Amino acid sequence: MSYVPFVAAILAFIVTYIATNWLIRYLRRIGLVDKDMNKKNTPLIPISGGLAVISGIFIGLMFYIFFQTFYFKYTETLLFIFAGLTSILMITFVGFVDDILRKSKPAPGGLRQWQKPLLTLSAAVPLMVVNAGTTTMAIPFIGRIDFGLIYPLILIPIGVVGAANMVNMLAGFNGIEVGMGLIYIGMLGLYAFVNNSEVAALISLITFAALIAFYIYNKYPAKILPGDSLTYLLGGAIVTIAVIGNIEKAAIVASIPFIIEFVLKARNKFKAKSYGYYKNGKIMSYHNNKIYSITHLFTRTGKYTEKQITWMMIGIEFLFSLLIWVA
């Protein structure tokens, strides 16, 4: 039975790889494209790569469910797998709708700010109705607290809404969302496995495999952009893994770069751009020497390329993700 998750992960990789290749051509044909902001002349490339990734995750998890149900006759964990998959599907759909509305005519702009948390809130319902997780949660530097009914009714919805929107804060550089996602999804999956959280480890493994396939096309120079469909998917995957695996503390620690980003963006009322503009091969900040994003630590100097900034941000996420083992 132990080989099935790995076969499912390989299948998720293959499906995502093929789907991304097809999606690039299809999205370009229908005009769902956006500016690649850190390039000379800001070329237009396809957006909403989350559709390919969710396809791989869906097929991978359904393959696992099929074998567990009809071959091994083991159905004990399937309810939580379905709940997790449903939450991720719902939140990805919200992101996709936002991608479409942002590029629609005659009035592009995407979902309004009040609509995003309201719509992503619905993705918390599957995790709530199956009573996923436990009411006792470990808080970094505080310890374990039993929240009772507050956990499923308040904390899970807050976690879903917060996680869905946090990944998008550090968007704008080729490979940055997926690269950082590979780090925290991979680290959370390993942490879940060590702590015997079977379902959380499974979802992490299959999501990780799908992200690797997409990264091949999204790394610098990107052939396709993630869009909100993928940034929302990543946020949904984080909270799903955290809740089902009862590893909320680890998820919070791994999310520290995004928490810092939130604080920095709040200083400018969330008007600042994380990305910069291209000049002589380097990326310059729109905000001069002011720091309203972690990326501004690099763009304010004008010394680094887009690829270098992406790798430094991935490195920062890796360092914080290591802290889950000691926090």
Q: What is the pLDDT of residues 163-212, one digit of tens each?
A: 888 888 888 899 999 999 999 999 999 999 999 999 999 999 999 999 99
Of all residues in the chain, the percent with pLDDT exceeding 70 is 94
Q: How many domains, in total, are found in the chain?
A: 1
In a domain, 62, yes or no: yes
Give the integer Cα–Cα distance in Å for 265 and 274: 9
The angle subtended at Cα 135 by Cα 129 and Cα 136, nearest 5°, is 155
In a domain, 198, yes or no: yes
In a domain, 277, yes or no: no
In a domain, 293, yes or no: no
Q: What is the pLDDT of residues 32-47, one digit of tens each?
A: 999 898 888 889 999 9
Q: Going along 36-159, which residue ranges are E strands?
A: 44-46, 136-139, 143-146
In Å, how far from its chain's centre is CA 171? 11
Q: Are 255 and 226 in contact (CB under 8 A)?
A: no
Q: What is the pTM of this model?
A: 0.92
Sign (positive/negative) of CA torsion 60, 158, 134, 183?
positive
Q: Are 192 and 247 in contact (CB under 8 A)?
A: yes
Q: Are 128 and 165 in contact (CB under 8 A)?
A: no
155 DSSP assignment:
I
Q: What is the pLDDT of residues 38-77, one digit of tens each?
A: 888 889 999 999 999 999 999 999 999 998 888 877 777 8
The angle subtended at Cα 285 by Cα 280 and Cα 289, nearest 5°, is 120
Domain ranges, residue 124: 4-133+142-248
**For residue 44, what pLDDT is reported?**
93
β-bridge partners, 279: 282
Sign (positive/negative) of CA torsion 221, 222, 227, 231?
negative
Residue with tokens 């918390």: 124
In a domain, 98, yes or no: yes
Give the integer Cα–Cα distance in Å for 299 and 274: 9
Higher pLDDT, 155 or 233: 233
Q: What is the pLDDT of residues 216-234, one digit of tens each?
A: 999 999 999 999 999 999 9
What are the phi and psi torsion angles at 143 (to 5°)?
120, -165
In a domain, 285, yes or no: no
